[in-house]
Amino acid sequence: MLLRFRTVVAAAMLTVAAYATAVEVNGGHPDTYVVRKGDTLWDIAGRFLQKPWLWPEIWQANPQVANPHLIYPGDVLSLAYLDRVTAQPGPRQEAPVTGVPLAQVEPFLKQLSVVDSIEQLPYVVGLEDNRLRATGGQTAYVRLADAQVGQRWAVVRPTVRYAQPKPTEDLTANGDVTPGSGNLWKAFSAPNHRRGVLGYELAKVGTGTITQVAGGKTEASTLVLDNASGGREVRAGDRLVPVEATPYDLQFSPHVPAAGVEGVDVRVLAVTDMFSTGGPRDVIAISAGRAQGVDNGTVFSLWRQGSHVAHRMKFPGSSRMDDSVSTGAGRVSLPDEYAAHAMVFRTFDNVSYALVMQGVKPVRVGYSALHPDAK
């Protein structure tokens, strides 16, 4: 499955915003293709089209198919003409072919969320037997207003604060910013003009159920942790949020960014579980969300900003560094470089998480997120 995933993700990932662009078809294609069980739209598009993100709108231009986003095994795809794609409906005896099923990407996703503030979140104040850490089957004591027996809560840990111009700042156990943690990004993150806090990341630690509420002399409610928790130990200072029934969509329909995203300086804020660099199937955080028009399935191309190298032919004695993130006298500015494509799978107000799908080089913090067809 993983090997197939690697080839599939290198193909179609997007839905085009307009049908005006002409389709390009790979050479050596057959005249027709019969959709088979197990195919996906991005499978087929990547197999035959040089710009696979044009596929859904081209399909929509064919009145033979009632729903342009659903194709079925047995449908016949005509590839007889380079400038025209037509479809002949087949039998409707099997489930339709959709976009990207959650099952194909879920193993790579992370249990992360983003909130605007952590100050008002309920929190863990202590653990049974005065333990330093607790795990499944053990008890945590929490400060929780209006707690009710039987309520389900997720235990989460604030990890970083997303902001601009510093992409991330590490948080202490109390949720405070670690002094100086954002300074290291100055070395390789190109300057940007956006300012302000974008949100606080919460990493899921575990889940539990309220079994006793505060009252009388007791000021904390009792939370019994599930045996199948998040794989981390709970500690005092961890926060609580309600358990989400369906944190992810069941399938994703890849598409280009909405018009409102154009002109927004979108950057890679972090690479999950990595220091600063990631590649295919790594999760990244980007500096745009629902407020900017980003939704699940939005696909970006990620670009390394052109470096500014010392002009040694003109200034052979220069001591300037060669890979500067800002321009200046005695430097030559180089072009931006394409790195990879990424698909958004979870959005918040000003931050989104995306999965790096296909790339030609590693993705780093500070890279720009542009339209997938950017050059």
pLDDT score at 254: 79
Q: Does 183 or 234 have the greater pLDDT score? A: 234
As a whole number, mean pLDDT of residues 86-95 equals 56
Q: Does 365 or 325 have the greater pLDDT score? A: 365
Query: How far apart (Å, rounded) are the C-alpha atoms in residues 31 and 29?
Result: 7
Q: Is the pLDDT of residue 131 over 90?
A: yes
Least confident of 7-16, 21-30, 181-190, 199-208: 7-16
Least confident of 6-20, 166-180, 206-220: 6-20
Read off the pLDDT band of 288 (50, 70, 90): very high
pLDDT score at 235: 94
Counting residues of the chain whose pLDDT is more than 70, the rounded percentage is 69
- Work out the mean pLDDT of the chain and round it to a whole number: 78
pLDDT score at 321: 62
As a whole number, mean pLDDT of residues 31-49 equals 71
pLDDT score at 205: 92
Read off the pLDDT band of 329 (50, 70, 90): confident
Read off the pLDDT band of 29 (50, 70, 90): low
Q: Is the pLDDT of residue 58 over 70?
A: no
Query: How far apart (Å, rounded) are the C-alpha atoms in residues 292 and 104?
Result: 27
List, for residues 237-269, the tens digit of each pLDDT value: 999 999 987 788 877 777 889 888 888 899 999
Query: How far apart (Å, rounded) are the C-alpha atoms in residues 9 and 11?
Result: 5
As a whole number, mean pLDDT of residues 305-324 equals 71
Read off the pLDDT band of 116 (50, 70, 90): very high
Q: Does 219 or 321 have the greater pLDDT score? A: 219
Structural domain boundaries of the chain? 2-98, 112-242, 251-370
137-167 core/surface letters (b: 16 or more CB in 10 A; e: else): ebbbbbbbeebeeebebbbbbbbbbbbbbbb
List, for residues 93-113, the tens digit of each pLDDT value: 565 555 676 777 777 788 899
Nearest to 299 by CA among 336, 262, 343: 343
Read off the pLDDT band of 225 (50, 70, 90): very high
Query: How far apart (Å, rounded) are the C-alpha atoms in residues 301 and 339?
Result: 8
